[in-house]
Structure formats: C-alpha cells, structure tokens
Amino acid sequence: MLDIELVPADNIPRAAEIFFRDGFVALTGALSDDQLAYAQEGARRVVAEQMAAIPIEEANRGFARYSFESQIHHPEWAQLIELPTLLPILDEIWGTQDYHCSGAGGDYSTPGAKIQKLHSDMRDMLNDPIGQVSAFDLPSPFIVTNFLMTEFKEINGAIRFIPGTQRTRVRPPELKNEPDHWKQSIVCAPVGTTLLRDVRTWHGGTANRSDENRIMTSVGYYASWFKRPGFGRPLPLDFYRKLSKRGRRMCQDIVNWEADGS
C-alpha cells in the first residue's frame, strides 16, 4: 500500500506542494455530505444502466472494468464542475483562473477485474522532429479530479500510482516487467476522498477481489494554453446557465449551444 498524506482541501499550499512533487494529491473535505450522496446516487444509477447493457466480458476497459465515458450531461456530475473547495487549488497550481473544463466521467471496476498495466493518460502530442521538447517537459497541461464514490481498499481494485512520474519521458513498462512494489503502490482512502492528478502520472487499476464495485467519478480541466479535441456528450445548456460567470467561462467549449435553437 502506498503511504499517502490526506490533505484538507483548505490547505492549498500543501496540496499544491504535494501535487508538484508526486503528480497527484489526495484531498479531504472537497465534497459536502450532500454533494457526495448525490454523486453516489448518480454513479450507482449509471453503473446499473451500463452493466445491464454491456456484460462484463465486453466492458470497455477490459474484463469487468468500465469507463463511465462522458457523463457531464447528468446533474450529479455537473455539480462537480466549480467546487469552491477545489478551484483555489487549481488556481494555485496554474497561477491563474484562466483554465477550462474538459468534461466529466470516471471509471469503475467490478468483482473479477484483473490488475491493469501502468499507463499515462496522455501521449506526446508535440511530436518535436528533433526530439528536444516533449509533452512531459511541460507544466501540467491536463488535471483530473477523481472523486471516490466507494472506499478504496486493497481488495476492491483501488487505483495505484507511481509518484513523480508525471514529467518523465520514459514510458511505463509492460505489466510482466513491473517490479512487485509498483504493483503494491495502491492508494487506499475513505469514500469521499478526492484525488487531484496530473494525467501524465503513471497509474493503473488493481484486481477487484471483493464482492463490490469500486467506483470513482471525475471532472477534468485543461490549462489555459492547452486544448485537446473531443470531449464526448456536451454540457446541457440549462446546466450551463446555472453556473457562475466563472463556471460559464470554464465550460464555454463543452456546452451544447445548439439547444438554444438560434
């Protein structure tokens, strides 16, 4: 098990310090009890719908492992876009409020899921022909906040991280070549914990040997200087109109403008 510090979300300097060091930070207090309960309700509903439609043998992330894909059109996910407990940490990390929401989703594993190979959620999109600069030389271009809808335990497929890998050009090894201690680098944390992570940081799911689903939802953010095409289903216009002025600015690229009918 990975020894992590659970940082209160209002300790902004410490949260940013650990994020820069490790490529991720585990936060407490980012969600209220009501927000967590509402998010859990939505997550359980979508899990049930997806599993009824897609058998575990055909799950989109391997046997018994599913990605939620884009779910920002559901209010349980839209409520997470501009949490006042999290945006100040992003402000501190990026040194600006000028960043953008990329969408919302998450993943879950069900009983029987096997360990997943380590991976980064970003490839080198710069393609420098002389190899002097890569996407891994840059400040964080893409940050995802994962919200733990269930307790993460060693037995139920909790996520594992390799701290400090967010800026390495080396690519993760195949599972068979991983050292054993990397396979045990598991984040165990209480339900409601938020994992704020640089998507370049090496991570992977673990085997779900329990009788329960391991679920986490997410919202993503792009740095002001970065954009990646494609975000799945858009944010409904009526949800967009309920956001603050800042929230609307963050989501202007992912809203369903066609619903306006103009």
Structure confidence by residue, pLDDT tens digits, 17-56 = 999 999 999 999 999 999 999 999 999 999 999 999 999 9
pLDDT tens string 105-146: 999 999 999 999 999 999 998 989 999 999 999 999 999 999
Burial of 237 from C-beta contacts in 10 A (0-12 / 13-18 / 19+): middle
Q: What is the DSSP code (8-state) at residue 116? A: P
- What is the distance between the alpha carbons of residues 173 and 16, in angstroms, rounded to a whole number? 28
Domains annotated on the chain, with CATH: 6-121+138-260 (2.60.120.620)
Mean pLDDT of 4-12: 98
Residue bearing the bigger pLDDT, 248 or 258: 248
pLDDT tens string 49-104: 999 999 999 999 999 999 999 999 999 999 999 999 999 999 999 999 999 999 99
Is the pTM higher than 0.85? The answer reads: yes
Vertex 222 angle, CA 162 and 160, to 5°: 20
Asked if pLDDT for residue 232 goes beyond 90, the answer is: no
Residues 18/25, Cβ–Cβ less than 8 Å: yes
pLDDT tens string 181-216: 999 999 999 999 999 999 999 999 999 999 999 999
What type of residue is 172? P
Q: Is 10 helix (H, G, I), strand (E, B) or coil?
A: coil
Confidence band (pLDDT; 50, 70, 90) for 260? low
- Location of structure tokens 């050009």: 169
